[in-house]
Structure 1
Amino acid sequence: MAEAPSMRELLGEDPPKNWGKWGDDDEVGSLNYLDAEQVLRGVGSVRTGQVFTLQCPMGHPHGDPVFPGREGIKREMVWDQELFESGQGPSFPGGIRASDDKAEIFLQGSSQYDALGHAWYDDTLWNGRSADTTNGGGMSWASILPIAQRGVVGRGVLIDMARHRGKDWLDKGETFTHDDLQEAAAAQGVEIRSRDILCVRTGFLKYFFSVSHDEFYENFIEPGLTYSRELVEWFQSTEIPNLVTDTIANEVTAEPETGVLLPLHASLLRNLGVSLAEIIWLDDLADACAADGRWDFLYTAAPLKIHEATGAPVNPVVIR
């Protein structure tokens, strides 16, 4: 196979960009589209008051779905009844006892949001800042903190590509485009509107929990959106603030034609400032939407406020 082109060669010398659109110091990108009007539009999608939380459990007995090279949560008890009975636990006035634990986690090892500075090429991050801002023990520019402080609230729309294609889950490496998304939306009877938070279900998390780790990670390549300039231009013109998927990396892992890894992280996150939320559990929400034919809702999310972090865990809450 021929050597993969550089990201610049794939995306072109003049890719669609939103740099400077909200000022040179902006660190939240397309989330700026989610103003008060969009929040109220999301509230208007609430009909029955059903609540869904979308985080995958951390420390699940089956394991945690993580990108190759990362590990799931490592949690250990610090205080428990056995410790107190052994006389090694602390003594508190009145005799109260408590359990306590701690964890070591990859901040992107669960349902999570990417910082806008998480991925780059040509040594340049979102809004034209140098990738040197990732050095020194943390991200001094476009970390997860500005997104966490702002929060994400608006009208969400769920497109169920797996259900649309009559599958429990899409196959490894199976792709779809923005045209496919709109075709599925029309079949569902919903419209993807300007400034919608776009949620896409592939069923790939259901696949993760249904098979062994060896099967899931063998020849690892996720299904998802595949790069084209037309797709990026559609995201830009539709003013999509946030892409939310049930895959680990939001897009087909490698661009099928060239083998380039994660070009949508480069073109959407780095160039347009579109927030990416990954490993989001959408199956229960999808079942509810299919049951009554309503595919829009109030979407809310707030990743953890972690100083200078590349990303952070999140438990989005949807109300429909």
Structure 2
Amino acid sequence: MKEAWARWGEEDEAGAVNAIGARQVCDAAALVREGRAFNLAQPISGATAVPKHRSGILHLLGRDGGDYAAGARRPGGFQFSEDTIVMPVHSGTHIDALCHCWYDDQLYNGFSGDTVRSFGAGRCGVDKLPPLVTRGVLLDCVRANGGELVDGASIGLDLVRKALAAAEAEPREGDAILIRTGWQERQAPGANVDFNAEPGIDVEAAEFLAESGVSVVGADNFALEALPFPQGKVFPVHQRLIRDYGIPILEGLVLGELAQAGAKTFLFFCAPLRIVGGTGSPVAPVAVL
């Protein structure tokens, strides 16, 4: 942990994504062979399922066709529409910043938990994360498992290694590791989603990926890790990856179509919104084969 904190300097707030340099970007670009781009994000609407402790998503048009039907002015014949979105940043497909969780009153790199205030995070906010352009590796744990992973199933190191073998890849510095659990594919749009039960990786698997030097870990589920948590633990994978290793987490990815295309390694890019002091950001990651 201390080694991960010290690696990029005492004032670093970006963590493991610092490992993505020009070499990683160029190597990832060289993986493009077919020119097929896959949007890995969920649609955003008022029907998007959100945990009950968070507000729902509001999509409101401030100007629409009805305004003109009611007699709104049309200077020069010009008409337009515009809208407003109000949503929790940790909903749908999103990235967790390094200020999202901590313990012992210390964030990643030893910054005080007191720096996260009601007006935003003074340290490790999502605005400190650069655009992520690197090699993506799809770990299709459903296929590696030989079938559906039931809710609560723990994806351990053995299954992760099996999925890596199927992808013909080893995790390396700067990688974005994307884990298909199948959970998102089982959720019907607008359904009453149970956010307390899902398959996900365990701490040992997370530590293996972190020690391999990867820059980001994501999955197609709500919390990356298995729910319910192991006895006596609360978000143990989040604590290790975000707080201890400085690795941001992607959640709510859409990976079914990418898996059906037989993706293994590919160009991956994702740009968080630069929300100053934000604990996360909605994102629309893209994989290019």
| Equivalent position SS for 2:151 | coil
| Aligned match of 1:154 | 134
Match of 2:170 among 178, 183, 192: 192
1:183 matched to 2:159? The reply is no
Structure 1 residues 277 and 233: alpha-carbon distance in aligned structure 2, compared to 1, 3 A threshold: closer
- Alignment partners' CA distance in 2, 1:189 and 1:236: 18
Q: Percent of counterpart pairs with the same letter?
A: 31
Match of 2:86 among 88, 101, 104: 104
| Aligned match of 2:58 | 74
Report the CA distance between 1:281 and its aligned residue.
Answer: 0.6
- Alignment partners' CA distance in 2, 1:71 and 1:118: 17
Cα RMSD of the aligned pairs, angstroms, is 1.9
Please list every run of 5 or more consecutive structure 2 residues that lacks an aligned counterpart in the other structure: none
Match of 2:248 among 275, 288, 291: 275
| Aligned match of 2:69 | 85
| Aligned match of 2:197 | 221
Report the CA distance between 1:16 and its aligned residue.
Answer: 6.5
Structure 1 residues 211 and 107: alpha-carbon distance in aligned structure 2, compared to 1, 3 A threshold: closer
Report the CA distance between 1:181 and its aligned residue.
Answer: 0.8
Q: Indicate if the aligned counterparts of 1:58 and 1:72 stay in contact, CA closer than 8 A.
A: no
| Aligned match of 2:150 | 171
Q: Indicate if the aligned counterparts of 2:25 and 2:134 stay in contact, CA closer than 8 A.
A: yes
Figure out how many residues of one structure are paired with residues of the other and give that number. Answer: 288
Structure 1 residues 105 and 49: alpha-carbon distance in aligned structure 2, compared to 1, 3 A threshold: same
Structure 1 residues 189 and 299: alpha-carbon distance in aligned structure 2, compared to 1, 3 A threshold: closer
- Alignment partners' CA distance in 1, 2:180 and 2:2: 26
Q: Indicate if the aligned counterparts of 1:74 and 1:104 stay in contact, CA closer than 8 A.
A: yes
Q: Indicate if the aligned counterparts of 1:16 and 1:236 stay in contact, CA closer than 8 A.
A: no
Q: Indicate if the aligned counterparts of 1:151 and 1:302 stay in contact, CA closer than 8 A.
A: yes
Report the CA distance between 1:172 and its aligned residue.
Answer: 1.0
Report the CA distance between 1:211 and its aligned residue.
Answer: 9.0
Report the CA distance between 1:70 and its aligned residue.
Answer: 2.1
- Alignment partners' CA distance in 2, 1:165 and 1:286: 14
- Alignment partners' CA distance in 1, 2:13 and 2:5: 10
Residue type matched to 2:133 in 1? Answer: V
1:210-247: CA deviation from partner (whole Å, max 9, x where unpaired): 7941xx318x222101123xx45423331011001101
Q: Indicate if the aligned counterparts of 2:116 and 2:123 stay in contact, CA closer than 8 A.
A: yes
Match of 1:264 among 230, 237, 240: 237
Residue type matched to 1:32 in 2? Answer: N
Match of 1:298 among 267, 271, 279: 267
| Equivalent position SS for 2:120 | coil
Match of 2:261 among 285, 288, 308: 288
Task: Write out the 4+ residue segments of structure 1 that deviate beyond 6 Å after TM superposition.
Answer: none
1:126 matched to 2:82? The reply is no
- Alignment partners' CA distance in 2, 1:305 and 1:19: 23
Structure 1 residues 234 and 166: alpha-carbon distance in aligned structure 2, compared to 1, 3 A threshold: closer
- Alignment partners' CA distance in 1, 2:119 and 2:249: 23
Structure 1 residues 237 and 56: alpha-carbon distance in aligned structure 2, compared to 1, 3 A threshold: same
- Alignment partners' CA distance in 2, 1:55 and 1:301: 10
Match of 2:225 among 241, 245, 251: 251
| Aligned match of 2:96 | 114
Report the CA distance between 1:192 and its aligned residue.
Answer: 2.2
| Aligned match of 1:10 | none
| Aligned match of 1:312 | 281
| Aligned match of 2:27 | 41
Report the CA distance between 1:259 and its aligned residue.
Answer: 3.7
Q: Indicate if the aligned counterparts of 2:90 and 2:281 stay in contact, CA closer than 8 A.
A: yes
Residue type matched to 2:198 in 1? Answer: E
1:183-212: CA deviation from partner (whole Å, max 9, x where unpaired): 1222x2511231221110011111112794
- Alignment partners' CA distance in 1, 2:106 and 2:163: 35
Report the CA distance between 1:295 and its aligned residue.
Answer: 0.6
